């Protein structure tokens, strides 16, 4: 085996303490870029605020990490107080801190937005994904979430060491840019776990495409909410895990 000197960027992974309405809600391990997008998207994907209820978070460095504080709608205050938890997690946490099996299995709201895209659009998005992965190319250690038009053009992307963090950042960035998700799909460079499905559903994203495989629970939740879900996506093939509108029928 021949060894060569290779220079790689090591991506930062730091604790980010999130407070909603003055109440400590979670501590997430994340890459400290696009943090306002992350906090806004996290609030949306947790079901604490809608796209039009997001306010600018206050973010300060503290010790070896960051503290982010954001107001939330009054209707969510009781829920935050009830579910307040400190969650020092790995970047793949997902269900950390859930209080019960019933909470994990709580029904998802049905999606109403119609997805856009077809097999050609997915292939087009995959072909251009690499050029959007600035941190990923430098480090080989981060995930990307990209928002794609129905023709496969990528209109926005965010990166993080955590796949669900990257998705939260994308959701928050789309909210800040006043972009809706109808007729769009999200492409991710990761496996499809249930938290990605649930975040998409709560944000109103109608279609998710991932490069790696899904879990059984992710597929079940996608079918429950009517999320179009493609996994193991390649330029010439994909696993159609859920296609309620028949967009990818042969």
Which residue numbers are catalytic? 93
Name which of 162, 124, 159, 109 is nearest 138 in CA terms: 159
Phi, psi of 158 (to 5 degrees): -140, 150
Q: What DSSP designation does 30 have?
A: E
Distances (CA, A) of 126 to 10, 11, 121, 138: 25, 23, 9, 19
Distance CA 214, CA 192 (A): 4
Contact call for residues 44 and 171 (beta carbons, < 8 A): yes
Please enumerate in sequence order all residues whose Cβ is within 8 A of that of 220, keeping only pairs 6 or more positions apart, or say none.
Answer: none
The residue among 20, 16, 13, 23 whose CA lies nearest residue 57 is 20
For residues 69 and 178, what is the distance between their CA atoms, to the nearest angstrom?
Answer: 21
Kindly report each contact of residues 237-240 with a partner whose C-beta sits within 8 Å and lies 24 or more positions away, as own/partner.
238/119, 238/122, 238/209, 239/213, 239/214
């Amino acid at each position: 085996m021949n060894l060569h000197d290779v220079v790689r960027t090591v991506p930062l992974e730091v604790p980010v303490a999130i407070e909603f309405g003055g109440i400590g809600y979670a501590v997430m391990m994340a890459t400290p870029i696009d943090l306002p997008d992350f906090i806004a998207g996290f609030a949306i994907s947790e079901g604490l605020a809608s796209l039009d209820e997001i306010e600018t978070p206050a973010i300060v460095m503290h010790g070896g990490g960051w503290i982010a504080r954001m107001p939330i709608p009054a209707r969510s205050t009781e829920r935050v107080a009830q579910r307040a938890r400190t969650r020092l997690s790995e970047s793949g946490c997902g269900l950390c801190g859930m209080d019960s099996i019933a909470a994990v299995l709580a029904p998802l709201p049905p999606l109403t937005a119609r997805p856009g895209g077809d097999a050609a659009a997915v292939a087009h998005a995959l072909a251009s994904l690499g050029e959007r992965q600035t941190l990923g190319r430098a480090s080989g250690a981060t995930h990307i979430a990209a928002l794609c038009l129905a023709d496969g053009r990528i209109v926005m992307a965010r990166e993080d060491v955590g796949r669900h963090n990257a998705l939260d950042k994308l959701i928050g960035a789309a909210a800040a840019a006043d972009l809706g998700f109808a007729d769009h799909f999200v492409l991710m460079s990761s496996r499809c776990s249930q938290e990605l499905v649930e975040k998409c559903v709560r944000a109103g994203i109608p279609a998710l495409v991932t490069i790696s495989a899904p879990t059984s629970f992710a597929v079940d939740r996608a079918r429950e909410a009517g999320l179009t879900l493609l996994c193991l996506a390649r330029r010439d093939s994909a696993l159609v895990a859920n296609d309620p509108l028949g967009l990818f029928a042969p």
